[in-house]
Amino acid sequence: MDTKELTLAVRNYALRLGFDACGFAKAEFLETEARRLEEWLNQNRHGTMRWMEDHFDKRTDPTLLVPGSKTVVSVIASYFHPVHKTQQQQSEVPKIAKYAQGKDYHKVFKNKLKKLFEHITFLVGSVEGRYFVDSAPVLDKAWAVRSGLGWLGKNSNLLNKNLGSFFFIGELIIDVNFSYSAPETDHCGTCTQCIDACPTDAIYEPYRVDSNKCISYLTIELKDQIPKELQSNLGEWMYGCDICQDVCPWNTKAKAAQLTDLYPREKILDKKADFWNEINGKEYDELFEGSAVRRAKFEKFKMNAAIVKQNIAAKS
């Protein structure tokens, strides 16, 4: 099997596994991305996420993370569901970001990527490498761009013509050569809807986000109380935020998820503010078992719920 045939075979198998797209890029040092990341870190735009400073060399060069690697194989899969369109119109219901409403994608993707890795091994023999789902110092969006799966939008999310931006990314970094994909060009044009819609002005310039102001960061990663001056800007967002994605014109074409594990859990939909403020730790654990929401501990979640309840009350 030649390189072109192997590339086609692996891409087709990835699609059969339920991924929506699969691309291939040469494993090499990310010079431009390294320079931008270093500048962003030096400006302290990552807030309290100090882990982003760790393993900088490996983060920007996959051949250091996986010695002998030749290719980064990137895959994406939608988590969008038709019920999300209704949620976008709700103004008096606490909101959880779409990506966190189903099963934890880390678990879903790892199982699929393991099967993809095993299939490549079956096709070519011995393979050295690793698979990743936001689990190591890998610049997944940069690799997805280089793999032809989309372009980086002005809100710093990956955009795809067919899927919009409501999808997850995973990678294989392996010592196998493939036919490499051509990077996608930028199709944001003069649009600034994501920048204009952000209530905290977190998108401080096109393609740059200040985590210190981002609602997703404030409601998930920030362990301390959210600054008083930013609390009203949360609106109904109790965990994460989709505002800059909801307004993106490319998301009017968002494709529904194929992987049913990523569908929203009915038991967490359409619950009022009182419900979230009254749950106890045991109920929280039961509701979000196997969910990405568990990244925010119970105490943090309850702090967010209290702020959102206050915001909703202030509007009525």
CA 114 – CA 119 distance, rounded (Å): 9
Cα angle 59, 162, 151; round to 5:
35
User: Average pLDDT of the chain?
Assistant: 95
Q: What is the pLDDT of residue 220?
A: 96
- What pLDDT does residue 87 have? 85
Q: What does the pLDDT look like over 78-119, one tens digit per residue? A: 999 999 988 877 878 999 999 999 999 998 999 999 999 999
Which alpha helices (DSSP H) does the chain contain, by range? 3-16, 31-42, 56-60, 62-65, 83-89, 105-124, 140-146, 193-197, 215-216, 228-231, 243-246, 273-278, 281-287, 298-315
CA distance 202 to 218: 11
Q: Identify the pLDDT of residue 243.
A: 97
**Could you give the percent of the chain with pLDDT greater than 70?**
100
- Could you tell me which residue, 105 or 253, shows the higher pLDDT? 105
Give the active site residue among 134, 175, 186, 261: 134
Whether the Cβ atoms of residue 76 and residue 25 lie closer than 8 Å to each other: no
% of the chain residues with pLDDT over 90: 89
Q: Tell me what pLDDT residue 89 has.
A: 78
pTM summary value = 0.94
Three-class secondary structure of residue 186 per DSSP: coil
Residue with tokens 């997805």: 144
201-250 per-position pLDDT tens digit:
999 999 999 999 999 999 999 998 999 999 999 999 999 999 999 999 99
Give 123's contacts (C-beta < 8 A, 6+ positions apart).
1, 6, 9, 10
Q: pLDDT band for 283, please (50, 70, 90 cuts).
A: very high
User: Is there a catalytic annotation at residue 196?
Assistant: no
Residue 99 is classified by DSSP as: G
Contact at 8 Å (CB) between 300 and 276? no
- Distance between CA atoms of residues 45 and 208, nearest Å: 9
What pLDDT sits at residue 253?
A: 80
How many CB atoms are located within 10 Å of the residue 285 CB? 13
Q: End-to-end distance of the chain based on CA atoms, in angstroms?
A: 65
Residue 316 has pLDDT above 80, yes or no: no
- In this prediction, residues 275-300 reach a mean pLDDT of 94
pLDDT grade, residue 51 (50/70/90)? Answer: confident
Q: Which residues contact 103 (CB under 8 A, 6 or more apart)?
A: 261, 262, 290, 291
Query: How many Å apart are CA 304 and CA 171, to the nearest integer?
Result: 32
**pLDDT of res. 1:** 80
What's the pLDDT score for residue 128? 96
- 139 confidence band (pLDDT: 50, 70, 90): very high
Residue type, 105: Y
- Rounded Cα distance between 124 and 119, Å, is 9
Contact 70, 175 (CB under 8 A): yes
